[in-house]
Amino acid sequence: MRSHGVPNFADPSSSGAFTELKNRTALQQLRVSASQLMTASHDWVHLLPAGHSQTVTLQQQPDYLRAAACMRSHGITNFPDPVFSGGDVSFPIPSSIDTHPTQFTQAQQTCEKLIPAGHPYSGSAG
């Protein structure tokens, strides 16, 4: 991650978890856009050990779609639907969306609760 444009990305915890990928506050402290983070993470996700996957199932995809719709309903009008590929999920947030204003942060904190705890973008490491 650090070699792919996320210089403040921390080492994994003692349990092997990457807090930054699950916790929105930690993501904000990285001071990179969500699109930068997603681009960098796609370059190394294949390096995770077996059993460390956070695969998003077909049954969980509607939770992500609801979260995206929630963001739009909270004033982030151009917020994209997630992209699902090979069990991964990403939100291709265009550079035209500023992810730092209070409105975005508040919407995110509300809407990420629609995603099951422990899954990418859930806001909970649970």
> In this predicted model, what pLDDT tens digit does every residue of 76-111 receive, in sequence order?
999 999 888 877 888 888 888 888 889 998 999 899
Q: Per the domain annotation, does 126 fall within a domain?
A: no
Q: Per the domain annotation, does 60 fall within a domain?
A: yes
Per-residue pLDDT for 24 more than 60?
Answer: no
CA distances from 28 to 6, 8, 34, 45, 50 (A): 12, 11, 9, 20, 28
Instruction: Using alpha carbons, select from 123, 112, 26 the residue that is nearest to residue 64.
Output: 112
Q: Structurally, how many domains does the chain consist of?
A: 1
Q: Per the domain annotation, does 44 fall within a domain?
A: yes
pTM of the model: 0.59
Q: Per the domain annotation, does 121 fall within a domain?
A: no
Structural domain of residue 89, as residue ranges? 2-114
d(CA 60, CA 11): 28
Q: Per the domain annotation, does 11 fall within a domain?
A: yes
Q: Per the domain annotation, does 83 fall within a domain?
A: yes
Classify residue 75 by its DSSP letter.
T
* Dihedral of alpha carbons 98, 101, 107, 111, sign: positive
